[in-house]
Amino acid sequence: MSSPSSPSRCYKIATIPGDGIGIELTQSTLQVLNRLASLTNIQLEFGHFDWSSAKYHERGWYMPSDGITQLREYDAVFFGAVGWPDVPDHISLWELILPIRKSMNQYVNVRPTRILPGTVSPLRNCQPGDLDWVIVRENSEGEYAGQGGITHAAPYSIATEVAVFTYPGIERVMRFAFETARSRPKKHLTLVTKSNAQRYGMVLWDSVFYDVAKEYPDVRTDKMLVDAMTVRMTRNPKSLDTIVATNLFGDILSDLAAGLSGSIGIAASSNLDPTRKNPSMFEPISGSAPDIAGQGIANPIGAFWSAAEMIRWVGDGKLDLEADMLMKAIENVTAAGIKTRDLGGECNMLDVTEAICGEMDR
Amino acid sequence: MSSPSSPSRCYKIATIPGDGIGIELTQSTLQVLNRLASLTNIQLEFGHFDWSSAKYHERGWYMPSDGITQLREYDAVFFGAVGWPDVPDHISLWELILPIRKSMNQYVNVRPTRILPGTVSPLRNCQPGDLDWVIVRENSEGEYAGQGGITHAAPYSIATEVAVFTYPGIERVMRFAFETARSRPKKHLTLVTKSNAQRYGMVLWDSVFYDVAKEYPDVRTDKMLVDAMTVRMTRNPKSLDTIVATNLFGDILSDLAAGLSGSIGIAASSNLDPTRKNPSMFEPISGSAPDIAGQGIANPIGAFWSAAEMIRWVGDGKLDLEADMLMKAIENVTAAGIKTRDLGGECNMLDVTEAICGEMDR
Ligand SMILES: CC(C)[C@H](C(=O)O)[C@@H](O)C(=O)O
Ligand SMILES: CC(C)[C@H](C(=O)O)[C@@H](O)C(=O)O
């Protein structure tokens, strides 16, 4: 396939492979992106950042103090995974992935899911096409505000977790969610909160939702409590389209969504700064998966899907065909049954990667 | 079947039907419990409390100021449901169900789930027997501490939700969870937290878990992050047995668990004060379901299952056979295909209720 667009400027991509399967996934993603570039007029230039738990052990830090400034030199960040059993997770995350999301104003986390061709939902009555969701997760505040503390030694300890929600913080993600819903055929947005039990932040979420909804009369809306939402996702996936949720609920529901579409290994995410003042970050959400790391058997699709979204985002309308070309190749390959074990196949990461490269070539 | 046990003392049960299908479910439950009593030597005496959203409209309150004192006269409370569209949910809940749980020291919420005979999981590869879980939910603090606030008018509002976790509060529910796990054949307990993102309360949860685990070397343990847990529940239900989680995560996971076992309509719960200084409370978790209320089509099994657990609890070892008799009748009836629509059947609440009464009679 020859390039569908005219010569483009060079896009600078920072990669942070991180830990575990993040390393292999990033390698495979580079292979696929380089192939995509060679087949089209996209020019990509990569910068590599070895910020990882292994390095943390060596040096005592994950990111250098000017880490965010370094990343700001790039058009986008591709992130593999962070977390390794020998560092407490709350340290690795709060020293690497969470500061990037927060400092770079990536206040939206977009998590699309659908059943890819040739793959099967664990749900009995769910055919491809019955499950096609985009979860818009608030990504900067709420339950991930990082506030709270712990006092007194055991056995008297008292700990608090303080979730902080602001009207502007909610409104901006809500607006993004309504725009997303509007851009999709069903134009349907479901709000997920727990405003019956959580009387302050969640009630504010509900009210901002209704405020913003007035500007989008063409978007059909409904509202679910997070507990009941999990039941609806398993019983009636067809009844959902675009979903907006807080940082924590978006995290939980997007994992469930990935599971219900076949595997967490296909789950992609885009951490976006919609103002485009900062680079956005793209990451598969499967995590570092210590149990299978280094074996070359991880499913690379979540990483490639994230990369496709990255190309779409940096192109800002100019690289949609190229992003689609990668997505189409992914779908053709799953349709052909070339799948890793988590999807019921027998291939390893390299097989899938090469098949997708080959598919783009055709 | 004649009574398996000798004459017992009279147990006083307070019923709070509440709203929506809670009213019908409580009626059917009384029918079933009266039948059970007539067939055995259990003596039950009921007190009825019309604390509901309808009454709130009339009088401006849900519970009288001495409501808790009134309930303390009883051996147990049976609760239908609370919540109705014309009262904001955070008001109805914080004026009725949540104060009861908290004031009566019901610090454990036990939520058993399994696939009942003759019913089908929405999961493709899940046979009856593959999913048999007990979720032990912390029920007194954490994300339901009710702390937090909201300041500034829109569009500048800032809201906080403060989750409060205490060592003793965690330890007591942990101990209950380990005892529960120990009493089950698999002796396996899974801890669910989000200690990677929530650095204070969740990290404390993890550490108390490991502290208490030392006293239960015979119980096999593992630990999941709540997001990954939803995936494991859908992909590998057999790998789970007893689960312990915070108030919010227990709420979310128990709804998902009920959905995966066939329907939220079968979901039972026991709000326990394990010290037995206060009556415990038993409630189906399906909620008031305004969409189907008053039609007599709700699934009563969650209510009956809760009632069976109530009999077991008040009997404190002396009424296990009677509780089993009710459970067995429930299972025989689902096995015979006498099921409400949510379970794929065609019966209404009365059909199921009468079938279960008839089954106990045999
Ligand atoms: C790694 C962790 C902080 C993260 C989150 O909870 O946001 C992950 O679960 C995700 O979904 O991106
Ligand atoms: C009604 C509501 C407060 C409640 C909860 O969140 O605890 C319900 O969802 C439950 O599961 O019992």
Using H for helix, E for strand and C for coil, what is the string for chain B? CCCCCCCCCEEEEEEEEECCHHHHHHHHHHHHHHHHHHHCCCEEEEEECCCCHHHHHHHCCCCCCCHHHHHCCCCEEEEEECCCCCCCHHHHHHHCHHHHHHHCCCCEEEEEEECCCCCCCCECCCCCCCCEEEEEEECCCEEEEEEEEEECCCCCCEEEEEEEEEHHHHHHHHHHHHHHHHCCCCCEEEEEECCCCCCCHHHHHHHHHHHHHCCCCCCEEEEEEHHHHHHHHHHCHHHCCEEEECHHHHHHHHHHHHHHCCCHHHCEEEEECCCCCCCEEEEECCCCCCCCCCCCCCCCHHHHHHHHHHHHHHHCCCCHHHHHHHHHHHHHHHHCCCCEHHHCCCECHHHHHHHHHHHHHC
A247 falls within a domain: yes
Q: What is the whole-number distance in angstroms between the Cα of residue B251 and the centre of ligand 2?
A: 6
Residues B254 and B275 in one domain: no
Residues A138 and A236 in one domain: yes
Q: What is the whole-number distance in angstroms between the Cα of residue A286 and the centre of ligand 1?
A: 9
Q: What is the mean pLDDT of chain A?
A: 96
Average pLDDT over residues B305-309: 98
- CB A199 less than 6 A from any atom of ligand 2: no
Q: Summarize pLDDT for A232-282 with one digit per residue, the tens.
A: 999 999 999 999 999 999 999 999 999 999 999 999 999 999 999 999 999
Which of the 8 DSSP states describes residue A347? B
Residue A130 identity = D
Q: How far off is chain A from B113, nearest CA to CA, in Å?
A: 14
CA atoms of A61 and A291, how far apart (whole Å): 24
A66 falls within a domain: yes
A114 falls within a domain: no
Q: What is the mean pLDDT of chain B?
A: 96
Give the mutation candidate from A19, A91, A96, A157 for the B interface (greatest B CB count, under 10 A). Answer: A157
Residues B16 and B70 in one domain: yes
The dihedral built from the CA positions of residue B55, B57, B59 and B61, taken in this order, carries a sign that is positive
Share of chain A residues as helix, strand and coil, in percent rounded to the nearest 5: 40, 25, 35
Inter-chain touch A201–B148, beta carbons under 8 Å: yes
The pLDDT value given to residue B362: 83
A112 falls within a domain: no
Cβ contacts (< 8 Å) between A150 and chain B: which residues? Answer: 200-201, 203-204
Question: pLDDT confidence of A194, banded at 50, 70, 90?
Answer: very high
For A231, the closest of B160, B195, B264 (CB atoms) is B264
CATH number of the CATH domain containing A199: 3.40.718.10
A313–B contact, CB cutoff 8 A = no
A230–B contact, CB cutoff 8 A = yes
Q: Whose CA is nearest to atom 7 of ligand 1?
A: A251
B128–A contact, CB cutoff 8 A = no
A233 falls within a domain: yes
Residues B102 and B136 in one domain: no
B112 falls within a domain: no
Residues B38 and B146 in one domain: no
Q: Summarize pLDDT for B115-158 with one digit per residue, the tens.
A: 999 999 999 999 989 999 999 999 999 999 999 999 999 999 99
The pLDDT value given to residue B71: 98
Residues B141 and B255 in one domain: yes
Q: How far off is chain A from B47, nearest CA to CA, in Å?
A: 28
Q: Summarize pLDDT for A268-315 with one digit per residue, the tens.
A: 999 999 999 999 999 999 999 999 999 999 999 999 999 999 999 999
For residue B83, which atom of ligand 2 is closest to its CA?
1
Q: Summarize pLDDT for B248-296 with one digit per residue, the tens.
A: 999 999 999 999 999 999 999 999 999 999 999 999 999 999 999 999 9
Question: pLDDT confidence of A8, banded at 50, 70, 90?
Answer: low
Residue B213 sits in which domain range?
121-261
Number of domains chain A is built from = 2
| Known catalytic residue at A144 | yes
For residue A197, which atom of ligand 2 is closest to its CA?
3
CA atoms of B97 and B91, how far apart (whole Å): 10
Q: Give the global pTM.
A: 0.96
Q: How far off is chain A from B251, nearest CA to CA, in Å?
A: 6
Average pLDDT over residues B294-317: 98
Residue B353 CA to chain centroid, in angstroms? Answer: 20
| Known catalytic residue at A227 | yes
B111 falls within a domain: no
Residues B331 and B251 in one domain: no
Inter-chain touch A196–B89, beta carbons under 8 Å: yes
Residues A85 and A143 in one domain: no
A341–B contact, CB cutoff 8 A = no
Q: Whose CA is nearest to atom 10 of ligand 2?
A: B285
Within the 155-214 window of chain B, which residues sit less than 8 Å (CB to CB) from chain A? 155-168, 171, 194-204, 207-208, 211
Residues A161 and A205 in one domain: yes
Domain endpoint, select from B191, B226, B261: B261
B287–A contact, CB cutoff 8 A = yes
Residues A53 and A127 in one domain: no
Average pLDDT over residues B43-59: 96
The pLDDT value given to residue B8: 64
Report whether pLDDT(A6) > 60. Answer: no
Residue of A nearest to B232 (CA): A259
A127–B contact, CB cutoff 8 A = no
Domain endpoint, select from B202, B235, B261: B261
Which of the 8 DSSP states describes residue A111? E
The pLDDT value given to residue A186: 98
| Known catalytic residue at B194 | yes
B131 falls within a domain: yes
Report whether pLDDT(A14) > 70. Answer: yes
For A167, the closest of B89, B156, B197 (CB atoms) is B156
A89–B contact, CB cutoff 8 A = yes
Average pLDDT over residues B295-306: 98
For residue B98, which atom of ligand 2 is closest to its CA?
3
Inter-chain touch B252–A159, beta carbons under 8 Å: no
**What is the percent of chain B with per-residue pLDDT over 70, rounded to a whole number?**
98
The pLDDT value given to residue A362: 83
The pLDDT value given to residue B2: 43
Q: In what order do the strands lie in the sheet with A132-138?
A: A43-48, A10-18, A76-81, A280-284, A268-272, A108-114, A132-138, A242-245, A188-193, A220-225
Q: What is the whole-number distance in angstroms between the Cα of residue A176 and the centre of ligand 1?
A: 20
Residues B231 and B128 in one domain: yes
Report whether pLDDT(B103) > 70. Answer: yes
Average pLDDT over residues A17-24: 98
Average pLDDT over residues B12-36: 98
Domain endpoint, select from B261, B286, B309: B261
Inter-chain touch A167–B149, beta carbons under 8 Å: no
B65–A contact, CB cutoff 8 A = no
Residue of A nearest to B141 (CA): A160
Q: CB-side exposure of A105: number of CA atoms within 13 Å?
A: 10
Q: How far off is chain B from A266, nearest CA to CA, in Å?
A: 13
The pLDDT value given to residue B6: 54
Q: Summarize pLDDT for A199-242 with one digit per residue, the tens.
A: 999 999 999 999 999 999 999 999 999 999 999 999 999 999 99
Residues A252 and A324 in one domain: no
Q: Summarize pLDDT for B55-81 with one digit per residue, the tens.
A: 999 999 999 999 999 999 999 999 999
- CB B93 less than 6 A from any atom of ligand 2: yes
